[in-house]
Amino acid sequence: MRTEWVLLAALAAFSASSTVGKAAGVTVLHPEPGLKCMLLDAHDLQATVQSQLPPIRSAPSSNAPMIGYPSEIVLVRDPLQQQAGYVAVVRINGQPGWIAADKLQPWHAMNGRPGKCIPTLLSNGRLGTHIEQ
């Protein structure tokens, strides 16, 4: 009996610690300097599957390996770094990359109201965004 209860308690503790560790209470730590928000162009915002989106590549070339896909908000270097029709970006996980410049537009909130998009570091270690309105 004692062994069973110890096992149950261990399972409950593991479950609880995993909950706390991965989801609860994400907060904004601070604005991330050297980045600014841009938005995917109107066509790409309508994508229903990710493969329809412009890829993020490891170098400013269509021949460079693809390293991922953007979300609707793209974090670009500030000041803007452009090369061969590509713009330097930083992915949510901090990885640098390049995306075709003609696939981006200046950021605006989806609700059309004035606001400011601030690239931030979140407490879960991801880069993210904070939108002030």
Could you list the residues that contact another protein (CB under 8 A)?
A: 1-2, 4-5, 8-9, 11-12, 14-16, 18-24, 26-28, 40, 44-45, 47-50, 53, 68-73, 91-95, 109-111, 113, 115, 120, 122, 126-131, 133
CB nearer to another protein: pick between 39 and 86 = 39
The beta strand positions in 2-115, using DSSP E, are: 28-31, 35-40, 56-57, 66-68, 73-77, 82-83, 86-90, 96-100, 104-106
Instruction: State the nearest-atom distance from the C-beta of 80 to another protein, in Å.
Output: 20
Instruction: State the nearest-atom distance from the C-beta of 24 to another protein, in Å.
Output: 7
CA proximity to 45, closest of 103, 121, 88? 103
Instruction: State the nearest-atom distance from the C-beta of 110 to another protein, in Å.
Output: 6
Token pair of 61 as six digits = 């070339």
Distance CA 93, CA 69 (A): 12
